[in-house]
Amino acid sequence: MNIYIGNLAYTVSEDDLRDSFSEFGEVANASIINDKFSGRSKGFGFVEMPKDSEALEAIESLNGKDLNGRTVTVNEAKPREQRPREERSPRRDRY
């Protein structure tokens, strides 16, 4: 199961996520989403746990708890919705 973790402190590392969730079972992957320009954390991440029962226990236990000074939001990750690409109008020169 893919788990979303929001409201992360910018100091939280992928190892911190892995350690927190591994208390409930096997963690296949832990990732923090970073801004592509600054490289700084965007304040959310994902943890992949192979066993749904362990993932649900982790969600139940960690949602609303403190992690590095911030109260985190933890829930099952939803698939990213397909967003239509915005059509851009041609650039207009102003003279």
Phi, psi of 44 (to 5 degrees): -150, 160
pLDDT of residue 42: 96
CATH class of this structure's domain 2-76? alpha beta
pLDDT in tens, the chain (95 residues): 999 999 999 999 999 999 999 999 999 999 999 999 999 999 999 999 999 999 999 999 999 999 999 999 999 998 877 556 655 555 555 55
Q: What is the pLDDT of residue 85?
A: 61
The β-bridge relationship of strands 73-76 and 2-6 is antiparallel
The predicted pLDDT at position 83 comes to: 56
Whole-number pLDDT of residue 81: 75
The alpha-helical segments, DSSP class H, found in 1-95 are 14-22, 52-62
